């Protein structure tokens, strides 16, 4: 497995926004303009520009419509932890700030965000600010450390949920918009493309985010964008902006977004069960599986997940998965590496019977495994 890339959460604490006066270079006093830029030539150029702008005008109008659709669904979140002083509860200054997006699950409204935005904050310390200036507090909160997803129950009139897209259909090169509160500047919009998919080797925070499958985007996201939406040109929510790779602490064109299919799956489980349900296979994987190991086993490419051991009485053991097997496919997904298998297994419905294809002794072997609830198995 390649070395993990260390990235930053889009954290925003108490910040001071510094306004900078920019100097623009121009002609020195008394310097004459370019003699070739006659008035007639400039007028012709203005006409050419106007015609070309008219040709792309519908595209610009589309972006404006998408922004109008998504803006009412986006919230600015401020989290304050409380402290007691002389018997009184004192609300500290803002310790964390970020963004969120309103979603609808089974007819009820929630705010979807990142766990790290509101972690260790009581309900009364969480301010949810809407585009119209209104402010409410959530009535309930659920969090999942393994994905950095959090969902808050909110109750107020006139809230607008975002339309949920399908992140499985996202392709590299798709145009996207990000909206959030970079540096506290709420409802800021940036634009870019999907730069890559399936980023799973990210070193985030304390390392508790085990299930990774990030979309990468060059749409500018900065501290304060955490939990805000990434949307496609149909105005559909396709991701939850979470982290950046940056040497400066600001946007350098490498942002990471939790795919909305993953985030919604987690949110539904948290709301319906109070916890996430993770499927369990029962194998240990070789994180150093590379070309040398693949060649030793008879594989031309180091793709798949190399099994280093199998837990006794686990679903994998009952399905006859063996040490040294390389998992090539799981439930129809072509497995890229160990992190990919961990993610795919973790989001397989508990109790589902799936087909597994492994490479063993120079052949492909097809097996059937029934995954179980990880928490139940680990308690046994």
198 and 108 in a common domain:
no
Residue among 67, 55, 276 nearest 178 (CA): 67
CA distance 114 to 21: 34
Residue 64 lies inside a defined structural domain of this protein: no
The secondary element (H helix, E strand) that includes residue 315 is helix 315-318
146 and 79 in a common domain:
yes
96 and 138 in a common domain:
yes
Predicted confidence at residue 86, as pLDDT, reads: 55
**Band (11; pLDDT cuts 50, 70, 90):** low
371 and 291 in a common domain:
yes
Predicted confidence at residue 5, as pLDDT, reads: 63
Residue among 358, 352, 355 nearest 371 (CA): 352
Residue 171 lies inside a defined structural domain of this protein: yes
207 and 302 in a common domain:
no
The secondary element (H helix, E strand) that includes residue 279 is strand 279-280
Residue among 154, 155, 166, 161 nearest 118 (CA): 154
Q: What is the three-class DSSP state of 12?
A: coil
User: pLDDT for 221-242, tens place per residue?
Assistant: 988 899 999 999 999 999 999 9
Residue 204 lies inside a defined structural domain of this protein: yes
102 and 203 in a common domain:
no
106 and 176 in a common domain:
no
Phi, psi of 306, deg, nearest 5? -90, 120
**Band (1; pLDDT cuts 50, 70, 90):** very low
pLDDT at residue 6 greater than cutoff 70: no
Tokens of 349: 């419905």
Residue 26 lies inside a defined structural domain of this protein: no
253 and 181 in a common domain:
yes
Tokens 């009581």, residue? 122
Last residue in a domain, options 273, 302, 330: 273
Residue 200 lies inside a defined structural domain of this protein: yes
Residue 374 per-residue DSSP state: H
Beta carbons of 113 and 152 less than 8 angstroms apart: yes
Last residue in a domain, options 206, 239, 273: 273
257 and 206 in a common domain:
yes
Residue 174 lies inside a defined structural domain of this protein: yes
375 and 295 in a common domain:
yes
Domain with 315 in it: 279-379
CA distance 163 to 87: 45
Residue among 73, 62, 119 nearest 100 (CA): 73
CB contact burial 308-345 (16+ within 10 A = b; e otherwise): bebeeebbbbbbebbebbbbbbbbebebebbbbbbbbb
Beta carbons of 272 and 264 less than 8 angstroms apart: no
**Band (379; pLDDT cuts 50, 70, 90):** low
Residue 35 lies inside a defined structural domain of this protein: no
Tokens 């950046």, residue? 244
The burial class, CB within 10 Å (0-12 / 13-18 / 19+), for 273 is exposed
User: pLDDT for 234-287, tens place per residue?
Assistant: 999 999 999 887 666 666 778 999 999 999 999 999 999 999 999 999 999 999
pTM over 0.85: no
Last residue in a domain, options 248, 273, 298: 273
CATH code assigned at 258: 2.40.10.10
218 and 176 in a common domain:
yes
- DSSP letters for 15-73: --PPP-PPP---PPTTPPPPTT--HHHHHHHHHHHHHHHHHHHHHHHHHHHHHHHHGGG
286 and 371 in a common domain:
yes
Phi, psi of 123, deg, nearest 5? -55, -45
CATH code assigned at 336: 2.30.42.10
Segment 60-71 mean pLDDT: 92
Residue 365 lies inside a defined structural domain of this protein: yes
Give the count of domains, the chain. Answer: 3
CA distance 303 to 287: 12
Beta carbons of 202 and 184 less than 8 angstroms apart: no
Q: Looking at per-residue confidence, does 251 or 365 come out higher?
A: 365
Query: CA-CA distances (angstroms) from residue 378 to 118, 281, 306, 311, 375?
Result: 29, 11, 22, 11, 5
First to last CA, the chain: 31
Residue 356 per-residue DSSP state: E
Predicted confidence at residue 3, as pLDDT, reads: 54
Q: What is the three-class DSSP state of 226?
A: coil
User: pLDDT for 304-347, tens place per residue?
Assistant: 999 999 999 999 999 999 999 999 999 999 999 999 999 999 99
Q: Which residue numbers are catalytic?
A: 116, 148, 226
Beta carbons of 106 and 93 less than 8 angstroms apart: no
């Amino acid at each position: 497995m390649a070395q993990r890339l260390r990235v930053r959460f889009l954290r925003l604490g108490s910040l001071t926004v510094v306004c900078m006066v920019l100097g623009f270079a121009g002609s020195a006093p008394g310097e004459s303009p370019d003699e070739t830029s006659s008035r007639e030539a400039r007028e012709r150029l203005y006409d050419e520009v106007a015609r070309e702008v008219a040709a792309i005008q519908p595209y610009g109008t589309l972006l404006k419509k998408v922004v109008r659709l998504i803006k009412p669904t986006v919230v600015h979140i401020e989290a304050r932890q409380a402290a007691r002083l002389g018997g009184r509860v004192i609300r500290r200054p803002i310790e964390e700030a970020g963004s969120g997006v309103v979603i609808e699950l089974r007819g009820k409204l929630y705010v979807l965000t990142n766990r790290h935005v509101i972690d260790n904050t009581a309900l009364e310390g969480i301010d949810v600010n809407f585009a119209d200036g209104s402010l409410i507090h959530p009535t309930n909160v659920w969090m999942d450390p393994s994905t950095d997803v959090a969902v808050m129950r909110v109750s107020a009139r006139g809230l607008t949920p975002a339309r949920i897209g399908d992140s499985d259909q996202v392709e590299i090169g798709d145009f996207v918009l990000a909206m959030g509160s970079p540096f506290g500047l709420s409802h800021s919009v940036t634009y870019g493309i999907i730069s890559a998919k399936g980023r799973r080797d990210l070193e985030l925070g304390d390392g508790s985010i085990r299930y990774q499958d990030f979309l990468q985007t060059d749409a500018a996201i900065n501290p304060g964008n955490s939990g805000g939406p990434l949307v496609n040109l149909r105005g559909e929510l396709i991701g939850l902006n979470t982290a950046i790779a940056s040497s400066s602490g600001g946007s350098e064109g490498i942002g990471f977004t939790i795919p909305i299919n993953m985030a919604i799956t987690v949110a539904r489980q948290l709301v319906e069960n109070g916890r996430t349900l993770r499927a369990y296979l029962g194998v240990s994987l070789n994180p150093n599986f590379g070309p040398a190991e693949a060649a030793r086993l008879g594989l031309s490419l180091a793709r798949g997940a190399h099994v280093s051991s199998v837990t006794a009485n686990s679903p994998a053991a009952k399905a006859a998965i063996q040490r040294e097997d390389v998992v090539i496919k799981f439930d129809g997904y072509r497995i890229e590496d160990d992190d990919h298998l961990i993610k795919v297994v973790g989001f397989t419905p508990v109790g589902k019977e799936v087909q597994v294809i492994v490479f063993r002794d120079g052949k492909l072997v097809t097996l059937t495994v029934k995954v179980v609830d990880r928490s139940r198995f680990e308690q046994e």
